[in-house]
Amino acid sequence: MTKNAITWIREDFRIEDNPALSYATQNHENVLALYIYNKNDFDNKREAQKWWLSKSLETFRSELSKYKINLEILAGDELDVFSKIKKRDDFSIYWNKIYEPDVIAKGKKIRDTFLKNEIQFKYFKGNILNEFQEVTKNDGTPFKVFTPFWRNAEQKYLGLPPSKNYIVKKKNKMISFFKKCIEPKNILPKENWYKKFEDYWKVSENDSKKILNNLIDNKIKEYGVARDYPSIEGTSRLSPYIKHGQIHVSTIWKKCNDTKSKGIGYRKYVNELGWREFSHSLINYFPEFLKGNYRKEFDKFPWVKNEKFLKAWKSGMTGYPIVDAGMRELYETGWMHNRIRMVVGSFLVKHLRINWTEGEKHFRNCLLDFNKANNVAQWQWVAGCGADAAPYFRIFNPILQGEKFDKEGLYVKKWVPELNKVPNKFIHKPWEMETKYQQAIKTIIGKDYPQPIVIHEKARASALEAFQSLKKN
């Protein structure tokens, strides 16, 4: 066994339930934590996440220092960095897995490099309940539908022995190794649009635990209903912390299981964890899922290219208040309420008939909680071209969705303040107000707020016609 160890940090910015970090500290005299910032994974793709990553590195470095563990940050390619470590450097290397096909492929190359250079290494289960290979049908084939998948996966996890208590042992001294390290601030996006994120998020392992405790103590009982109303804090808001590994899903699971409120709220929330597991299974068994339509008949779908409409959608200027509120919330906070994600997604692919890949790309760039598996799966679900997708004729009516889940327009008025004086009767269809009334409240539709860029009824009919065309081909 070597004297020194490197724990390769990726999406596991936590002390608790971190098997790689725990193993390193338990078995080696000195431990160094390493994060490798690969610009190719972020630049012009995941700009919002640069802010969360920078904050994660900053807070996690501080936490690690309490254990006499130094965190070094390098900019470069992971394979290049690791190829320079030699046997004489006296390091063993440990990491927790990430379940994405391209990451797995690169991991194999890295392992081959370690074997060639005679570097000891070990990797551990990542931030997931069951590894995707563990949940299959009786004949060994993967599930393609959520409900039977999750029924099987949940029972599989419940049948496992209690998870190990991963203790991180404090070391005697901090060590350094790498040269030309960078600081967390070097990772921040160049544009300062992320500045407002700080008003909405605190980024640390401790903050994730506070949010989880609040979910269990105050939210989970009503979660089944409250989660649908964007004007109230009815969702967990844990997703960015899960994505970056400030908290492990097993920690959430155990906390949920300990609650006495195991009603519909508990079930609905636990099912959300299940969808995350299902999405990871899909992209690993069907990696083509990440690059195009799972249902190949949609390759012939008559999508419309309209840059003007796409820009209006991205900027929250479609003329449909609930859609615009969601898109503005996304840009300002790096997050969007889950029901609203479905509404804005449906609007893009069905009202505007713009390819879902454009929406997926925009969400990838703007979401703090962007998760490759979840994002693609959700967009294909709403587009109707994915596994276990909603029937295509299920087209979310943005007016009715607003009237049902934001009856008093509180959510809309928060994010679309130019509509603050519009009465509730018209808040989700302000174009129906008489001109004289618009003048009275100084909110002119077409001037102070845009007219709808499409008419719902016509757009719906056009979408259904386009869907029917698939059956003729």
DSSP secondary structure letters along 253-272: HHHHHH-S--SHHHHHHHHH
Scored b (16 or more CB within 10 A) or e, 52-74 reads bbbbbbbbbbebbeebbbbbbbb
Of the residues 338, 403, 424, 431, only one is catalytic, namely 338
Whole-number pLDDT of residue 389: 65
> What are the backbone angles phi and psi of residue 215, rounded to the nearest 5°?
-60, -50
Is 51 tagged catalytic?
Answer: no
Q: Which tokens sit at 333?
A: 């906070």
Give kind and range of the element (H or E) at residue 6: strand 4-9
Whole-number pLDDT of residue 90: 92
How far apart CA 67 and CA 223 sit, in angstroms, is: 37
Whole-number pLDDT of residue 111: 97
Of the residues 150, 335, 356, 415, only one is catalytic, namely 356
How far apart CA 323 and CA 252 sit, in angstroms, is: 31
Parallel/antiparallel/unpaired status of strands 91-96 and 4-9: parallel
Of the residues 131, 272, 332, 403, only one is catalytic, namely 272
> What are the backbone angles phi and psi of residue 372, rounded to the nearest 5°?
-55, -50
First to last CA, the chain: 63
How far apart CA 265 and CA 242 sit, in angstroms, is: 20
Scored b (16 or more CB within 10 A) or e, 272-309 reads bbbbbbbbbbbbbbeeebbeebbbeebeebebeeeeeb
Task: Please report, for the chain, how many H helices and E strands are present, in that order.
Answer: 19, 5
442 torsion bin: left (phi>0), alpha (psi -120 to 50), beta (else): left
Who's near 330: CB < 8 A, 6+ residues apart? 336, 363, 366, 367
Is 150 tagged catalytic?
Answer: no
Nearest to 348 by CA among 331, 375, 327, 374: 327
pTM: 0.95
How far apart CA 26 and CA 258 sit, in angstroms, is: 29
Of the residues 51, 379, 381, 415, only one is catalytic, namely 379
Rg of the chain over all Cα atoms, to the nearest angstrom? 24
Whole-number pLDDT of residue 109: 97
Measured from the Cβ of residue 77, the count of other Cβ atoms closer than 10 Å reads 15
Is 52 tagged catalytic?
Answer: no
How far apart CA 271 and CA 88 sit, in angstroms, is: 48
> What are the backbone angles phi and psi of residue 73, rounded to the nearest 5°?
-120, 125
Structural domains for the chain = 4-126 (3.40.50.620), 127-162+205-285 (1.25.40.80), 296-472 (1.10.579.10)
Q: Which tokens sit at 229?
A: 């109303």
User: Measured in whole angstroms, how far is the alpha carbon of residue 320 from the centre of its chain?
Assistant: 25
Is 338 tagged catalytic?
Answer: yes
Is the torsion defined by CA of 250, 256, 257, 258 positive or negative?
positive
Of the residues 150, 201, 275, 381, only one is catalytic, namely 275
Strand partners, 121: 93
Give kind and range of the element (H or E) at residue 314: helix 307-314
Whole-number pLDDT of residue 393: 64
Burial class (CB in 10 A: 0-12, 13-18, 19+), 191: exposed
Is 379 tagged catalytic?
Answer: yes
Q: Which tokens sit at 47?
A: 């700009």
How far apart CA 313 and CA 347 sit, in angstroms, is: 9
Q: What string of DSSP letters covers 409-472?
A: -HHHHHH-GGGTTS-GGGTT-GGGS-HHHHHHTT--BTTTBPPPSS-HHHHHHHHHHHHHHHHH
How far apart CA 326 and CA 323 sit, in angstroms, is: 5
Residues of the chain with pLDDT under 50: none
Is 307 tagged catalytic?
Answer: no
Length of the chain: 473
Of the residues 29, 38, 152, 303, only one is catalytic, namely 303
